Structure 1
Amino acid sequence: MSQHQILNPADHAQLRIHTEAGAEFGDNVMASLAMPAEFREVQAHYPIVFRRDAETGKLAALALFGFEAGENLFLNGSTWEARYRPMAHAVQPFLIGRAAEEGAPPQVHVDMGHARVSATGEGMRVFDDTGTATPYLEAVANMLGDLDYSWHESDAFFTALETYELVEPFSLEVTLDNGSVQTLVGFQTIHEERLSALDGDALAALMAEGHLARIYMVLASLAQFGGLVARKNRRIALG
């Protein structure tokens, strides 16, 4: 259960965080939110797909790690077999919080109920003996700042996709080496025919806002499905 607290040296002087990979630390997930600002890094390792919120209808982008809930095909024991992890996942158990006062600066919160919070005295310290943020916490704070900015900046990208009707539902069905069929449903991707049919003015507008490059990064990322299937076959073969 989540236990969000405002991070501060008075209450969290001895706080330590497990930074290694592991299912026991919450890495056994099939996907993570991915910000458009990090698509260049994400597409080099993971397929990027879109999901529409059932209540709000808003789009979000996801980096896929597996084909089903609780499956991370990049997780091998205590090793994450990719050079990059999406910010929303890598920054855990920290998150951005906002004070009630209008215009107040964002705050660093920590989820004390997260599995990465150490209860054994092991892990990376957050504050040193003087109560000063450690280099680890400074790096986390920088990532939180990037994540917060990227989250707000992403609205323009998703608005452009909606304006030009550039998303469509897709499904994936793959026959694995053992004969079983792996399916993936409920996601959306770029509608390539509509993208190709855009006129010069529309393409120029998308390019000027930086959206066009990110659209093509999403399309390029779909090639990573081949690697994901190969990982799934290896996982099955190893039992």
Structure 2
Amino acid sequence: MTSHTLLDSNTHRDLRICVDAGADLGDGVMATLVVPSEFRRVQADFPILFRRETGRELFFAVALLGFETGENLFLDGARWDGGYRPLSLAIQPFLIGRPPGGEGSGQVHIDLAHPRIAQDGDEGVRLFDSEGRPTPFLDAIADRLGELDEGYRGSGAFFDALAEHELLEPFTFEVMLDDGSLHSLVGFHIIDEARLRALDAAALGALHAAGHLMPIFMALASLSQLAELARRKNRRRRDG
């Protein structure tokens, strides 16, 4: 259940946000949306995989955080155990809204039903000061929202290019854990490295000129993080 509304300095003057990490705060997810413009930062910590939107041919990218539904191996109690926090998680409980009709600049909206809304008036971080001015925390959130919105809006051309050159292939990954249990990832795609290597100079040049080649390379590089994710899973099983 969500309750989205336009953020307002009068109505929400005293609102506070819980900024700790935690499964009960919305971080308990196996994967989270990422956009090509953040792939360079994402690949240092997480595998980048691709999925189709349900019932559609369109793809989107995710950072893989675990191997099971609701599992985030980068959560250590109330601590985020990673060098980077993907934008789609870092902006919660905020989102970009649009004026009626969908035209005009993006607006900062907030989900008032989100678990990050502080229930105790003394906990969490304020969004506005006593004069109704945005706090540095809210300014930082607005920057992240803008970056995510711009990245999402610009991602269509990236996925069109992948489709044009047939650069995505189905991906199944099986990991055998130290305790003998087997976990399988299905329903994902990855960059087809062989097809990428086979592209001629003109195609590669066009991808580079459009800014698509770097995120493609970052997505490929990120697959080395699958082994680290499996190690995290083994540590979690071993340590309880």
TM-score range, shorter chain: over 0.9
- Quote how far apart the aligned CAs of 1:54 are: 2.0
Deviations 1:180-232 (A, max 9, x none): 10111110001111111111110111111111111111010000001000000
In the alignment, residue 17 of structure 2 is paired with which amino acid?
I
Counterpart of 1:129 in structure 2 is: 130
Unaligned runs of 5+ in 1: none
Tell me how far 1:101 sits from its aligned partner.
4.4
Counterpart of 2:233 in structure 1 is 232
Letter in 2 for 1:153: G
Q: What amino acid maps onto 2:179 in structure 1? A: N
Q: Which moved more, 1:97-106 or 1:148-157?
A: 97-106
| Cα-to-partner distance string for 1:35-64 (whole Å, 9 max, x where unaligned) | 100000000000000001122221100000
Tell me whether 1:23 sits opposite 2:38 in the alignment.
no
Matches within 5 A, 1:202-217: 202-217=203-218
CA distance in 2, matches of 1:102, 1:190: 33
1:1-239 correspondence runs (5 A):
1-101=1-101, 103-121=103-121, 122-239=123-240
Q: What is the TM-score when the length of structure 1 is the normalising length? A: 0.98
Q: Which runs of 4+ in 1 moved over 3 A?
A: none
For residues 184 and 56 of structure 2, the distance between their equivalents in structure 1, rounded to whole angstroms, comes to 26
Amino acid at match of 2:232: R
TM-score by length of 2: 0.97
The count of aligned residue pairs is 239
Q: State the secondary structure of the residue aligned to 1:70.
A: coil
State the SS of the aligned residue for 2:11.
Answer: helix
Aligned-partner SS, 1:10: coil
